[in-house]
A and B are shown apart, each in its own frame.
Chain A
Amino acid sequence: MGFIDDLRSTFSIKNILGEDPLHIDDLPLSTVPDYMRKKGGFWYWTGAMISMAFIYQVVTGLILLLYYNPANAYVSTEYFKNSVPYGSLILTTHLYGAYAMIVLVYIHMYRNYFNGAYKKPRELQWVTGVLLLAVTIGVGYFGYSMSGDVLSVDATDVGRGIALSSPVIGPFIESIFFGNGTSTSLFVRMLGWHIILSAVIGGLFGFHFYLAEANGLMPSQKSANYKAPAVEKDLPEHKPWYPYNLVYMIELGAFVFGLIILIPSIITELQLNIVNAVPPLFDPYPQVAPSSPLAAYVPPYPPWFLLFVYKAVDFKMFNAAGALSALAASTVFGVIPLLYFLVVPFIDRSNDLHPLARPFFTGFGILGVVYMAILSLWGALSPGIPIATNDVLAVFIPPFIIVMGGMYMLSKLYKKGSFKPSLNRIIGSFIVFFIFLVIAIFEFATSLGSMFSGITVYNTAFTLIAGSGMTFAALGTMRSSEISNLALLKAKTIKGYEMSKKTAMIISSILVIISMEILWLMLQANPLNLVQEEGFGIGLGILMILIGIEIRLYRMVYLRE
């Protein structure tokens, strides 16, 4: 033992590189209160998750760049997928990584919106965040258009048309973003803008992150007493960034990367084994080439994250704008909401953070979610069918009345002080909300489905009620789970660590054995066989999640978190 200890101390990093060679202790990263690293604390790290997804996208994107050939976009994409080892895995996870990033950006935005995080002192942080949303969708659009399959051609044609129809600057925009009309020029531009905008994300993110660090993480509403400015920066009772936050970040990273690899691998595996298991909108693979005779059978979907604008283009009310109708639709449903979010910190100047204390803005946010969900579903279920203005109003007005009216009433109760639920009521309401949510989603989907085979007063009304109910329930679920978690954590006492150390050892050992088993299986996979390759991806995703679990156990027993 003495010898090994000698060896260890001679060759320890400390002896060779000195104490803290990476200057981790000098990092200017802000420390955070404990509850942000506890159960449910991941709500405070949605930004971190986005940046992890972004890193995944950059790495896989650069690998794809080694193979992409704009002069032969479709062929080079198919070649990468079929003939390059692990090509299918990288291509599908790059696609789904983008989906994950977009979903996370929306979650991050709405979470901060409903929490009033855009208020003092974070106005600029919020503005850069909204710009990041726009750029992220732009990168997604160009990336989606790069495969050269029939859907990408549809998407570029639509984008082209909308760009061209803008008065005066149309032709410039078209030629700047879509090239001179030859296919090579188009794909060179798609590739170029995909990368340029990704670099813009990197730059804006740097600024956004710097502001976030400088402002400090936004504390829970409760500890900020529901009033802006909510600042809780580097208090002495916070645990140091290293090791607590670092280990937590590694754990979170293991889960995020694990899921980004695991989910698309499972979906692709399903798609490979069961014909049409995945609707075309979420197909992990490119569709057929536009020149293929099968191309006519592919429904002309845009990427799902643009479905809401796509449906709006079908609204007859925009026909009044004549040649500008598509532009008008995308302005009303794309640009105006974006502008609203950009300026919201400068309109909502009160210092109230509680969603019920600012019913107007909360209501607008809920309507944003509802409208976007309805439009997207509508676009997915009845693509390209023109919608009369009456029907549009029938779909849009009831949620407005329900949400705004409901918010108004709730906020009155809240302001009077009669809406101050206790812990048990919150937990109870969480369960109620959750059940309600599930039912509402189901009802919404079925009634909306029946609407498309024929609109009746009954199914329209039902859809709207269910849709609003669904959103309301979703928000309620989210809020109540968050509040109840916080309260529960406070109520918990620390005990039983001695016991769980042994348990942690045993569980971790088992997990390591499983990891090795999985690795062994992964090494058997043929990297050119699509099915085995996606199996490899499933294995890799699980491996990473197991690491996340092991780190969680370690944090639990040794960092007492």
Chain B
Amino acid sequence: MADEPDVSRRNFLKTLVGLSAVAAVGGLGKAVVQNVVTPSVGLSSFPETVLYWVPPGSNSGTPVPVKASEFPVNSPNIWIYYYPLTDDPNFLINLGNSSNVPQKISPVPVTIDATGVVFQSPGGTGPNGSIVSFSAICQHLGCVPPIIRYYPPNQLSILSSILPGPASDYPNGVIHCDCHGSTYDPSKGAGIITHPTYKPLPNVILAWDPSTDTLAAKNMKGPTIYGKSSDLSGGTPLSNLQKTLMIQMSVG
């Protein structure tokens, strides 16, 4: 330490080099991180898209717009369409009672157990106010149809050991996921009936045009679609925004 001033001057010079190095590494690091993060693809706002289908029993096989009044009540088969991006399946369900009479579904507050946030469900639409639509990806760990599906009221006996109350508590059926047993109430904004899920299914807001009897998906409400950081990113936008074709999945 005999050379004290020299040592500190030497350290000062080293510090100067270090500072420049920090500047360069900072700039470099920023560029590399920003570059390596995959640029997101998606949309800037929710598109509005008319739902098409090939009606059951159609001979021509040509897709036509879904007529809300013709859409089957308590359909035993699953109807899926993709919205808002091509990787996001959603159910379209016409809810009815055990004798397949469509039931009016009113908006209700739905609680997201995981966060405590409450949102208002959009309720049913169509001529009877009975058509609802939810994301078809289970909010627990992401199982997709047909593992997660709608059980109409007359199929609830299959789930009797799982449902917390008697079948009469669920007059319009339930959505149930076989992966780990989460159950959602389609009459109440896909709110939680049984865990392990702590989030309801995201609700799709539908628009029904009474003059043409067509249905269109136009927005989403509730939690974010499973596995995504935002509903509008992380997937390819729909190729034809005017028409979204539904697919039918039969349940074995």
Contact = CB atoms under 8 A, between A and B. Distances in A.
Interface string B17-58: 101110110111011101111110000000000000000000
Contacts of B24: 515, 519, 540, 543-544, 547
Nearest to B31: A86
A523 interface: yes
Interface residues of A, number: 36
Contacts of B13: 504-505, 508, 550, 553-554, 557-558
B4 to A, nearest CB: 10
Nearest to B12: A505
Contacts of A529: none
A512 B16 CA distance: 6
A550 B20 contact: yes
Interface in B142-199: none
A89 interface: yes
A32 interface: no
Interface centre among A86, A518, A527, A546 (most CB of B within 10 A): A86
Contact of A543 (B16, B27, B38): B27
A90 interface: yes
Contacts of A303: none
A527 B34 contact: yes
Nearest to A522: B27
Contact of B9 (A505, A511, A536, A539): A505
A509 B16 contact: yes
Given A508-B13, A519-B27, A84 B20 contact: no
Nearest to B10: A558
Contacts of B17: 508, 547, 550-551, 554
A157 B40 CA distance: 36
Contacts of B31: 85-86, 89-90, 527, 536, 540
A242 to B, nearest CB: 15
B18 to A, nearest CB: 9
Given A501-B9, A505-B9, A508-B17, A518 B23 contact: yes
A554 B14 CA distance: 8
A516 B39 CA distance: 29
A66 B36 contact: yes
Nearest to B32: A63
A524 to B, nearest CB: 12
B35 A508 contact: no
Given A523-B30, A540-B28, A543-B24, A550 B35 contact: no
Contact of A90 (B16, B21, B23, B35): B35
A170 B9 CA distance: 67
Interface centre among B14, B21, B26, B37 (most CB of A within 10 A): B21
Contacts of A84: 35, 39
A184 interface: no
Contacts, number: 83
Contacts of B32: 63, 86
A557 B14 CA distance: 12
Contacts of B14: 554
Nearest to B28: A540
Contacts of A546: 20
Contacts of B38: 66
Nearest to B14: A554
Interface string A490-506: 00000000000100110
Nearest to B21: A547
A515 B19 contact: yes
A501 B36 CA distance: 42
Nearest to A543: B24
A53 B12 CA distance: 31
A547 B13 CA distance: 12
Contacts of A505: 9, 12-13, 16
Contacts of B27: 519, 522-523, 536, 539-540, 543
A523 B30 CA distance: 9
Interface string A2-44: 0000000000000000000000000000000000000000000
Contacts of A83: 39
B10 to A, nearest CB: 6
A515 B10 contact: no
Interface string A531-556: 00000100110011011001101100
Contact of B20 (A87, A522, A539, A547): A547
Contacts of A554: 13-14, 17
Contacts of A87: 35
A359 B37 CA distance: 57
A8 to B, nearest CB: 10
A527 B34 CA distance: 8
A550 B12 CA distance: 12
The 4 A-B residue pairs with the shortest CB-CB distance in the complex, in nearest-first order: A85-B34, A519-B23, A543-B24, A86-B31
13 contacts: A63-B36, A84-B35, A86-B32, A505-B9, A505-B13, A515-B20, A515-B24, A516-B19, A543-B20, A547-B21, A550-B16, A553-B13, A554-B13
Interface of B: 6, 9-10, 12-14, 16-17, 19-21, 23-24, 26-28, 30-32, 34-39
Interface of A: 63, 66, 83-87, 89-90, 501, 504-505, 508-509, 511-512, 515-516, 518-519, 522-523, 527, 536, 539-540, 543-544, 546-547, 550-551, 553-554, 557-558
Given A550-B13, A554-B13, 19 more contacts: A63-B32, A63-B35, A83-B39, A87-B35, A90-B35, A501-B6, A501-B9, A509-B16, A512-B16, A515-B23, A519-B23, A519-B24, A523-B30, A540-B24, A540-B27, A540-B28, A543-B27, A546-B20, A547-B24
